[in-house]
Amino acid sequence: MPESGAPHGLVVDRNLALELVRVTEAAALAASRWIGRGDKNAADGAAVEAMRKAFDTVAITGTVVIGEGEMDEAPMLYIGEKVGLYARTGGGPEVDIAVDPLEGTSITAKGGPNAIATVALAEKGGFLHAPDIYMDKIAVGPGLPDGVVSLDASPEQNLRELAKAKKVEVSDLMVCTLDRDRHKDLIKACRAAGARITLIGDGDVSGVMNVSQPEAGIDIYMGSGGAPEGVLAAAALRCIGGQMYGRLMFETEEQIARARSMGITDPNRVYAVEEMARGDVMFAATGVTTGAMLRGVRRFSGGAYTHSIVMRSKSGTVRYVEGHHNFARKPSAFVA
């Protein structure tokens, strides 16, 4: 992947991070109408449309590199789409954008926990162009020796090393993984080693982020999930700290060939956080349903409440933003 295309160092305006919150708030507000209504596609569609509209007000020339799919399969926020106030004219900082307007569509449809609307932004060329396949992921929080865990080690070995580094017993560790059949052996191995596990229904972006949020009580994330979600999680960890390693899980030769055309030459490569999200990176997420990290949208007469996290890798500042939205006064693009 090319180095950052920024000609004179940083071109990304730090205020942009706060603009990003408006974008995730808009998506979360729209998705919140569909919480528990059993229609994940409607929830997703509402989030995508609201996020797309909200981008029009952000003073950037953005290119979607992690998005809703290829142009012919996704009408909005497709890979390659230009977004932002200057999308047509050019102008403002030229940035790459990664989105998951509704991370946790099924949990939203069921009214379950931990669904978020999320966006990350990097200087041009900053994000790994991850195809829409699975990625094997492992993540631990900040302050641990580099490489304390590895995708090439067994779960037992990783847990043992992590416990040693944290000066705790393996039985003190809490693992997080997606509740999937494909994780049967992983779950068995962690339990056999004596560790505890939190199984999540969806939402491994927040699952990975939780390793760097002591209040979430997660020591290690393991397992496979969406590769695009892996890049979003890496963007978040660039800001809050923590280690994560990801390996793309190709299933067909065709996938490998396609990835090659997108610049991925070694299909077995293990990517560290800064290889998935490099340079100055910003990340924002708004809770749709309540989770360990963010409270969900609460609607009340004439408005709604939102809870978001926004951060930037350069400064390392993490902000939690509470939004009290007054629908009577809000610009229509942001009212859901």
Tell which one of 178, 218, 232, 235 touches ligand VTB (CB under 6 A): 178
Applying the rule CB under 5 A, the residues between 94 and 133 that interact with Mg ion are 100, 103
Chosen from Mg ion, ligand VTB, none, partner binding at 202 (C-beta under 5 to 8 Å by type) = ligand VTB
Segment interacting with ligand VTB (CB under 6 A) among 15-23, 150-158, 196-204, 328-336: 196-204
Provide the minimum distance between the beta carbon of 222 and ligand VTB in the complex, in angstroms, as a whole number. 13
Provide the minimum distance between the beta carbon of 129 and ligand VTB in the complex, in angstroms, as a whole number. 17
Residue 204 engages ligand VTB in binding (rule: CB under 6 A): yes
Helix axes 16-32, 40-55, angle to 10 degrees: 150
CB closer to ligand VTB out of 84 and 225:
225
Segment interacting with ligand VTB (CB under 6 A) among 152-160, 169-177, 221-229, 300-308: 221-229
Provide the minimum distance between the beta carbon of 318 and Mg ion in the complex, in angstroms, as a whole number. 22
Chosen from Mg ion, ligand VTB, none, partner binding at 295 (C-beta under 5 to 8 Å by type) = none
CB closer to ligand VTB out of 48 and 170:
48
Applying the rule CB under 6 A, the residues between 225 and 244 that interact with ligand VTB are 225-226, 229
Tell which one of 62, 92, 101, 104 touches ligand VTB (CB under 6 A): 104
Residue 160 engages ligand VTB in binding (rule: CB under 6 A): no
**Where does this chain bind ligand VTB (CB under 6 A)?**
103-104, 178, 180, 202-205, 225-226, 229
